[in-house]
Structure 1
Amino acid sequence: MKNKELNYVKNVIKLNNTSSIYKDLKEVFEFDENGIPKFVNGEALYLAWQAIKNISSDMEQELMEQRFYRNSEERYRESIQHHMKRIDGNKFMMGSDKNAKIKYCGEEPKHEVQLNSFLVSDIAVSSELYKQYNPKAEITECDNMPAGNLSWYDAVMFSKWVNCRLLTEAEWEYASRGDSKGDWCCEKEEDLSKYAWYSENSDGYIHEIGRLEPNTYGLFDIHGNLWEWCADSYEKDYYARSPMYSPLNNSNTFKKVCRGGSIHAFSEMCRCNFRNYESIDFYAADVGMRLAKNVE
């Protein structure tokens, strides 16, 4: 089914005919009688969205706003709003100092960032929530488990379906640390097992959401369990030219940032500063997502 949806969209776009794209992509953004999207392949939806966006804002308004986004705010209020934590805008130092005891490629230079206030979910997207969007998703059957096996495309399109977005890389780093002055949301590495399922305590299994302590911002599982997709593209040298205000690397690359570590990650990979990336279409059981939203 995934390949069928993707091939359909690619073939329509290949025609490079505005009237055909409009007519044939209409059904991509339709719902069935139960309110479930007919197309749920993230890459297919994303490519279709970009195609109509490049043609005209009116077409995007009709096919996205009036179809795919329809009732998205209602879905947000019913299933997500009560999980959202407000993070007030602030300045912080992002990245790792050149003299840091632990640092990996891409973490330098340390630089000042100014963020606007934003909302972030206190938990990762659950299997129960994701199955409202795609009941046939190849994810765990347990409702209170985090939804994995999601590509960046899947994460972006699901977040839009519920009137949210992904965290930027800068927002993720700031939110993950909370009030901690250490490398994690806790001051000491020996305390990490109180907050994170990682290589030292996970036994190689993904765990239910919210079983460990939250950070000082009230966010559960911000380290470990599943990697979390961010909105940004990954470039090793991005920090050297990153803007100060609300940075977002939206360059057209196929590498996308994921943060936080997973059940297989060593402690240093769970650090707030650690930058990881995967291909835009990569998916694995230990890669999921967390929702964010602008403060209105």
Structure 2
Amino acid sequence: MNVRTRDRLIQRAKNALMINSSGLPECRDNKEIYAVMTLIEQASDADLSEIANAFLIDAGNRAAEHIEPLLRKIEATTFSMGTAAEDARHFSGEVPLHSVDLAAYRMASTAVTNELFGLLDPTRTKDLDPRELHHPVVNVSWFDAWVFAAWVGCRLPTEAEWEYACGLGSAEQWCCPQEQLVEYAWFSENSGSVLWPTQTREPNSLGLYDMHGNAWEWCQDSFHTDSYRRTPQRNPVYGEITEGHTHKVNRGGGFLALPEMCRTRYRMHDPAHTWAMDLGFRLADSRATDPED
């Protein structure tokens, strides 16, 4: 990186990552924050890293106070991800069935709520009905989700982590028999076409709520119909934001989704900059990894 390019990036980083007197970002463009943080990571420059570290200076404290109680450890595992070609009923890039090795990680027991998201964006809760504080936050882009995750010392789950956490590698279509899905999920048959508070349906066997239904959940991965053939077996994650590839995976189904769309293996995707009234996210992190990992 030449001096002029570096100077421009330093100024851009200062503009994007400036913190106000309340300790909140001045920049309201989370796509720009993500872009700058990614450039800093790639640059491996001490001065730039210092700017990024200042932006996230209290992330560990926020994680300890607000996120740690929500995290559930998931042990390292090997499981079969996706769907066998002969069993694929709908085209959503679920094939081929393939083996995946995951290091231990932790997943939040609930989606990020309006109340939690308000740590970063107080406008989300300013005029909110108190009954909605515990609803999953929705109308958030992938960039919004990524920045919030970093802001609280976490990250978005990979698609493989999400799928295993949902179904634990079971060959079944949901975490429960289909006839019991109404007990575990808010979806088209029982939601009344509205979003519901978290933890108002049964959790799966890991203690995770709303892995099916209520709000779709952004994952780290970029979407490609053939990504399962392109990723490594160990800790797979597909791609980054590029000029020609901006769709990101979301999983789980929402309150308007048919049962089919709430399946453990069902893949949905949307442009990273978009948002929807039934699209949110949950948090993951890697700090529970086994020593050999």
User: What is the TM-score with the length of structure 1 in the denominator?
Assistant: 0.89
Residues 251-296 of structure 1: per-residue CA shift (max 9 Å, x gap): 4320100000001111111101101100010111211110000025
Query: How high is the sequence identity, in percent, across the aligned residues?
Result: 34
- Which residue type is aligned with residue 167 of structure 2? R
1:239 corresponding residue in structure 2: 228
What secondary structure is seen at the aligned counterpart in 2 of 1:277?
strand
Instruction: Return the alpha-carbon distance in structure 1 between the equivalents of residues 84 and 126 of structure 2.
Output: 39
Q: Does 1:293 align with 2:285?
A: yes
What secondary structure is seen at the aligned counterpart in 2 of 1:257?
strand
Given that 1:139 and 1:149 are in contact with CA atoms closer than 8 Å, whether structure 2 keeps it comes out as no
- Structure 2 matches for 1:219-234, cutoff 5 A? 219-234=208-223
- Which residue type is aligned with residue 225 of structure 1? N
What's the offset of the Cα at 1:55? 4.1
- Which residue type is aligned with residue 142 of structure 2? W
- Structure 2 matches for 1:211-226, cutoff 5 A? 211-226=200-215
Q: Which runs of 5+ in 1 are unaligned?
A: 1-15
What's the offset of the Cα at 1:91? 0.7
Given that 2:247 and 2:271 are in contact with CA atoms closer than 8 Å, whether structure 1 keeps it comes out as yes
Change beyond 3 A, Cα 1:76–1:48: same
Instruction: Return the alpha-carbon distance in structure 1 between the equivalents of residues 237 and 273 of structure 2.
Output: 20
Q: Does 1:31 align with 2:23?
A: no
Change beyond 3 A, Cα 1:239–1:274: same
1:64 corresponding residue in structure 2: 52
Instruction: Return the alpha-carbon distance in structure 2 between the equivalents of residues 31 and 200 of structure 1.
Output: 45
Change beyond 3 A, Cα 1:140–1:113: farther
Return the match for 1:150 from 140, 145, 155: 140
2:115 corresponding residue in structure 1: 128
Q: Does 1:97 align with 2:84?
A: yes
CA RMSD of aligned residues (A): 1.9
- Which residue type is aligned with residue 25 of structure 1? A
1:44 corresponding residue in structure 2: 32
- Which residue type is aligned with residue 222 of structure 2? S
Residues 39-74 of structure 1: per-residue CA shift (max 9 Å, x gap): 232112112223444444313311111x21111000
User: What is the TM-score with the length of structure 2 in the denominator?
Assistant: 0.90
Q: Does 1:117 align with 2:104?
A: yes
Instruction: Return the alpha-carbon distance in structure 2 between the equivalents of residues 139 and 199 of structure 1.
Output: 30
Paired residues in the alignment total 279
What's the offset of the Cα at 1:180? 4.7
- Which residue type is aligned with residue 157 of structure 1? V
Given that 2:146 and 2:155 are in contact with CA atoms closer than 8 Å, whether structure 1 keeps it comes out as yes
Runs of 4+ residues deviating >6 angstroms:
none
What's the offset of the Cα at 1:225? 0.7
Q: Which runs of 5+ in 2 are unaligned?
A: none
Given that 2:88 and 2:94 are in contact with CA atoms closer than 8 Å, whether structure 1 keeps it comes out as no
Change beyond 3 A, Cα 1:201–1:274: same
- Structure 2 matches for 1:141-290, cutoff 5 A? 141=128, 142-178=132-168, 180-186=170-176, 188-251=177-240, 252=242, 253-290=245-282
Instruction: Return the alpha-carbon distance in structure 2 between the equivalents of residues 105 and 122 of structure 1.
Output: 26
What secondary structure is seen at the aligned counterpart in 1 of 2:221?
strand
- Which residue type is aligned with residue 36 of structure 2? A
- Which residue type is aligned with residue 44 of structure 1? E
Instruction: Return the alpha-carbon distance in structure 2 between the equivalents of residues 27 and 95 of structure 1.
Output: 42
Given that 1:53 and 1:59 are in contact with CA atoms closer than 8 Å, whether structure 2 keeps it comes out as no
Change beyond 3 A, Cα 1:140–1:112: farther
What's the offset of the Cα at 1:135? 1.1
